[in-house]
Amino acid sequence: MEPFRALFRPGRINSLQIANRIVMAAIGNKLADEGGYVTDQAIDYYVERARGGVGLIIVKLSSVMANARGSKNHMAAYDDKFIPRLHALATAVKRQGARIALQLGHHGNNSSHPRRQKGFPPGEQVIVGPSPIAYIETGVIPKELTRDEIHELIEAFALASWRVKEAGFDAVEFHGAHGKLISQFLSPYYNRRTDEYGGSVRNRARFGSEILAAARGKVGPDFPLIMRMDGWDGYEGGFTLEEAIEAAPLFAEAGADALHISAGASEATHWQFLTYLQESGALVHLAEAVKKVVTVPVITVGKLGDPVLAEEVLREGKADFIAMGRPLVADPYLAQKIRDGRSEDIRNCIFCNNCVGSGSYKGWSCTVNPAVLREREFSIRPAPVKKVVMVIGGGLAGMEAAKVCAQRGHRVTLFEKSSDLGGQWNIACQQEHKQHFATVTRRLQKEINETGVKVVLNTEVTKALVERRPPDAVIIATGAMPANLSVRGTDHKNVVQANDVICGTAPVGHRVVVIGGRHVGMEVAIALARKGKNVSLITRRKMGRDVRKAIRLALMSMLMELEVRLFPYFEVVEIRDNGVMAINEGSLFVFKADTVILAVGALPENGLIDRLSSAVPELHAIGDCLEPKDALTAINQGAEVGRIV
């Protein structure tokens, strides 16, 4: 039996034949210009995934009304003027053998988020909802839609569907999940209406059902319509699985040719974008439950990049198609590699969620795939002049830079002062829920070996070493070291660094105070609480500052479940043998502790930058030695400098 026969069995949605069961879920950012027109960059992005063997690509949400754009860089389908650029995208993707659908949606009350309003004249982008219930994220109360406005929206969805068909797309997906407007109508929390659009599940599903029926009237009987819906909103008072089981047949009856079952409204994005903290395939049971009550194909989604798991889901009949978003951002050729028996070559998504939301590297990127939305410019081109390149530091930034330099034809030597490549990333890989992070270093080591990089371990580079055999170019990637606190008592025996706790080299007593409320502090607190420790977590600012929303939600949920005591906005002023002294709002508090753990960031190891600045003709510094950030920045900087040496 072929190992992935089910994944590569052809499928059908309505009249649409699809080559395999792998679907690219709608994911991306800044795929349009400020006018809403598809960019060449977006076409390159989707074409790369089509080349990689995906059966069906679902293009991220396009707006159906001019006063509900979602953002300046969202694609639009509310006017015929957008058809030519949409056609260019559809044609380019289909030329590679994939099928393509366009997702249509309306943000409803989510339009109150500042990022949705940014760049538009005040009041232009309307904030509407099924009922005047304050949006949890912003506190803004939307305007309640009238019946006439609902009918206007239904017509807008239908006309946009016609445009999608005219543009040459193979299908439409209506975004009825993740807290978008159709989802808000389904939600008993946001929909408090007493007319035919509120109350019972049938009534709350009426808006989505009427959109399907109206679209069917515009596109004809054979054009596939897909409804994306949540099997569970992910928060108390939201849409439940029992209600989804009731609503799904209503959507199928109204004209949906397939149902794409996700989870997590915007109030619970850790279920919308499953994080490294959650189990793979954690949403499959929702699709499985829906599949039992409908006859149309069901698409499942949620950490399904493991081909063995994806195949198992299909063979067991839990779903008909497997949707992947982030795994295909990480590796556009994932499907092809599975089909060719090269699963070990997949550039695995680590579900760090750096690609989700705002604030990503240079707008939008991927930790393990720096070429995202730079597919054309990031193709490897031979160096015009072959050089001898020394890379100092074998962490993620240094490994990526060494690999790319070698791919371009340079003669590269990578120096690492320890006995292993990977740097600080090796410590992260020892944490609970992060063992799979080691796939990043394993892949980079494999690629370094394949490209002929010479690796020198257990060697600390000095200026004298560089001057003995001067290279043409040096790339410094010496990383960072754990920071300390500038308070009295950090030299006490009861004070340890979080990294040492993670590595198991520091003893930890029963009463623990963790100082630092970002990723590492929160994760260490959770790990120790699970071991039965009595844990308090102190931070001088917001708990979870600079942590991605979905990951922060997951971490905070775990901390609360484990009854870790949380103390945001507490400034540590002294550490004593028996605990920690901290100030909050002018009052002094004492936290008793056997062990005090520091998780207060990192300091750059940048001494070589000045020492080598006049010793070599070409010098670059990348990664944490410039400014401690994250793996996303480190790998991207390594990829960039590797292309300019």
| Average confidence score pLDDT of the chain | 96
d(CA 540, CA 544): 11
Bridge partners of 619? 474
pLDDT digits (tens, 9 = 90+) for 439-450: 999 999 999 999
Residues 309-316 have a mean pLDDT of 98
d(CA 282, CA 48): 28
Q: Is the pLDDT of residue 360 over 60?
A: no
Q: Is the pLDDT of residue 266 over 60?
A: yes
Residue 428, H or E segment: helix 425-428
Most distant CA atoms of the chain, gap in Å: 83
Q: Whose CA is closest to 478, among 365, 368, 401?
A: 401
Bridge partners of 176? 229
Phi-psi region for residue 46, left (φ > 0), alpha (ψ -120 to 50) or beta?
A: alpha
pLDDT of residue 30: 85
CA atoms within 13 A on the CB side of 382: 4
- Please answer whether residues 198 and 142 qualify as being in contact, where contact means their C-beta atoms are separated by less than 8 angstroms: no
pLDDT digits (tens, 9 = 90+) for 508-518: 999 999 999 99
d(CA 181, CA 415): 54
Q: Whose CA is closest to 380, among 451, 329, 311?
A: 451
| Band of pLDDT at residue 203, cut at 50, 70 and 90 | very high
Strand order in the sheet with 595-598: 495-497, 595-598, 511-515, 534-539, 565-568
Give the count of beta carbons closer than 10 Å to the beta carbon of residue 198.
17
Give the Å distances, CA to CA, from 581 to 185, 284, 495, 509, 515. Answer: 50, 47, 13, 18, 11
Burial bucket for residue 188 (CB in 10 Å: 0-12, 13-18, 19+): middle
| C-alpha dihedral, 276 to 281 to 283 to 288, nearest 10° | 180
User: What is the pairing mode between strands 388-392 and 411-415?
Assistant: parallel
pLDDT of residue 432: 86
Q: Is the pLDDT of residue 245 over 60?
A: yes
pLDDT of residue 359: 53
Share in percent of the chain as helix, strand, coil (round to 5): 35, 20, 45
d(CA 476, CA 392): 5
d(CA 478, CA 491): 26
Q: Is the pLDDT of residue 214 over 80?
A: yes
Q: Whose CA is closest to 509, among 476, 533, 477?
A: 533
pLDDT of residue 356: 83
d(CA 433, CA 278): 8
- 146 contact partners, CB below 8 Å, separation of at least 6: none
| Band of pLDDT at residue 29, cut at 50, 70 and 90 | confident
Residue carrying structure tokens 């609360």: 560
Cα torsion angle, 535, 540, 543, 547, sign? negative
Q: Whose CA is closest to 170, among 53, 252, 258, 105?
A: 258
d(CA 500, CA 481): 12
Buried b (16+ CB within 10 A) or exposed e, 532-565: ebbbbbbbbeebbeebbbbbbbbbbebbeeeebe
d(CA 313, CA 491): 53
Residues 399-407 have a mean pLDDT of 98
pLDDT of residue 2: 78
pLDDT digits (tens, 9 = 90+) for 506-563: 999 999 999 999 999 999 999 999 999 999 999 999 999 999 999 999 999 999 999 9
pLDDT of residue 145: 98
Q: Is the pLDDT of residue 167 over 90?
A: yes
Strand residue runs (E) in 422-558: 454-456, 473-476, 480-482, 495-497, 511-515, 534-539
Give the Å distances, CA to CA, from 376 to 383, 611, 643. Answer: 17, 37, 13
Q: What letter would DSSP give residue 145?
A: P
pLDDT digits (tens, 9 = 90+) for 87-124: 999 999 999 999 999 999 999 999 999 989 999 999 99
In the chain, pLDDT over 90 holds for what percent of residues? 95
d(CA 116, CA 304): 30
Residues 602-619 have a mean pLDDT of 94
Residues 72-82 have a mean pLDDT of 96
| Phi, then psi, of 287 in degrees rounded to 5 | -65, -40
Give the Å distances, CA to CA, from 185 to 26, 191, 258, 304. Answer: 21, 5, 20, 28
- Please answer whether residues 369 and 330 qualify as being in contact, where contact means their C-beta atoms are separated by less than 8 angstroms: yes
pLDDT of residue 344: 92
Helix axes 206-219, 241-254, angle to 10 degrees: 30
Q: Is the pLDDT of residue 362 over 70?
A: no
- State pTM to two decimals: 0.95
Q: Is the pLDDT of residue 45 over 60?
A: yes
